[in-house]
Structure 1
């Protein structure tokens, strides 16, 4: 990865390791009941993070340090949303639907999983890319190869999520609205939108008021999609 001299790295920032964020997600996994919608997403995200960690160790990513930093800063935004909810504070709007509906008996596991992925990809990923650029002193384009490899991992796992969590064929025939609802959301499109948002936010880094307004609107829009994904289906 090319370092950009006139974007100094924030070397004074203390960041946990990938192992640390994985340990926190494993703790959630052991404490939350399987019926908890947030636990469903957490299990999916734990699988993703462990797989990315293994690929970093195998040298799959062009820049292991950049990939690990992005992975950790990305995970920290999810963990911060959980911490806010547990403490009675307001989490980002993108996470509020999942936090509010996590115990709803009419929402199916696959809906919880995709609502969490929607919040994390649609809102958190763009911000994590910008965070990583500030932390490493680079531009978003320097992270593009690592971003693409993370995205490839997510797409492969999304297919498995749908296979593991979707109701069987007989139930799907009865619950056709669920099939239509879930088919209306695409991880590929969400990932492309996150990359575009990261580039825009990086371009607005000298205009913090505009960047904040864009971030707030992005947060609200992703939250609205999350509410749609969590429409009770039975």
Structure 2
């Protein structure tokens, strides 16, 4: 598939519009579509809270969310145009057509890349844009409020997981539970905040900044590959033998 680079979103409304367009054009079973549904839900929740005055610095949070979303869009554009993609995103894009991987695995693999790799970069960029710092109030307080919305989106994905376990064969259910239990938005966002602070202090020391980002990217890629480990046993695979033989 070939797709040209798209114009970066400039507002939360444009982010939602593009995520809905991605939802509408992709097969619902596509791994990217599975992640996109969770990301769209989170973005809609942010929009609702912005309108309700939930955040102390509305402008900063909207800018952060737009920068954050554009990093995902850039990765998707690159993957679909055959351009290099950050290793943090490669597990999701490489496995997106594998029907042995469950939708919840794709959703969490995308969240792993987006939070572990993209979020620290987005916070640093948004702070530079707004001439503030991660330690200047209310940046961290508002960041923590975003945790609540990501936790809600994660909870909804986990609810769908319970239904998937019911449909999975007995041999698949155990490994699937183990894989999904290994991912936590709370831990991912705590780690992302620690990375944010490190990258912020290294932002003017490019070789050190790049070395830190490389290490973070490698760890995120490894976690992503574990999250998309196929769990369907041979008898239940879409292309497996009807008699259940290997």
Partner residue in 1 for 2:84:
90
- Residue in 1 that maps onto 2:160: 164
Cα distance in 1 for residues equivalent to 2:212 and 2:169: 38
1:165-196 C-alpha deviation (Å, 9 max, x unpaired): 34244747542011111111221111100000
Runs (5+) with no aligned partner, structure 1: 1-13
Q: Is the 8 A contact 2:9 2:70 kept in 1?
A: no
Task: Kindly indicate whether residue 141 of structure 2 is the aligned counterpart of residue 145 of structure 1.
Answer: yes
SS in 1 for 2:144: helix
With over 3 angstroms needed to count, the CA separation of the structure-2 counterparts of 1:219 and 1:162, relative to structure 1, is: same
**Residue matched to 1:205:** 203
Q: Which has the larger radius of gyration?
A: 2
List per-residue Cα deviations over 1:49-86 (Å, max 9, x = no partner): 01101111110001100110111011111011001111
Q: Within 2, Cα distance between the matches of 1:58 and 1:29?
A: 26
Cα deviation code 1:102-135 (max 9, x no counterpart): 0001000000000000000111011100001111
Indicate if the aligned counterparts of 1:177 and 1:233 stay in contact, CA closer than 8 A: yes
- Structure 2 Cα separation of the partners of residues 21 and 15 of structure 1: 6
Aligned to 1:31: 25
2:12 alignment partner in structure 1: 18
Q: Which runs of 4+ in 1 moved over 6 A?
A: none
TM-score, normalised by the number of residues in structure 1: 0.91
| d(CA) in 1 for partners of 2:75, 2:112 | 14
Deviation at 1:152, TM superposition (A): 1.0
Q: Distance in 1 between matches of 2:183 and 2:13?
A: 31
> Could you tell me which of 43, 53, 59 is aligned with 2:53?
59
Q: Tell me the residue number matched to 1:231.
A: 229
Higher mean C-alpha deviation, range 61-70 or range 169-178: 169-178
Give, in whole Å, the separation in 2 of the partners of 1:219 and 1:172: 34
- Normalised to the residue count of structure 2, the TM-score between the two structures is 0.86
1:28–1:42 contact (8 Å) kept in structure 2: yes
Equivalent position of 2:214 in the other structure: 216
Q: How is 1:180-195 mapped onto 2 (pairs within 5 angstroms)?
A: 180-195=178-193
Structure 1 residue 79 and structure 2 residue 73: aligned?
yes
Q: Secondary structure at the match of 2:135?
A: helix
Larger relative contact order, structure 1 or 2 (CA cutoff 8 Å, min sep 6): 1
Structure 2: 5+ residue stretches without partners: 1-7, 233-246
Partners of 2:9 and 2:15 within 8 A in 1: no
Give the corresponding residue for 2:242: none
Kindly state the Cα deviation for residue 141 of structure 1 after the two structures are TM-superposed: 1.8
Paired residues, number: 221
Distance 1:231 1:86 in 2: 22
Residue 44 of structure 1 contacts residue 161 of structure 1 at CA under 8 Å; is this kept in 2? yes
Cα deviation for residue 201 of structure 1 reads 0.5
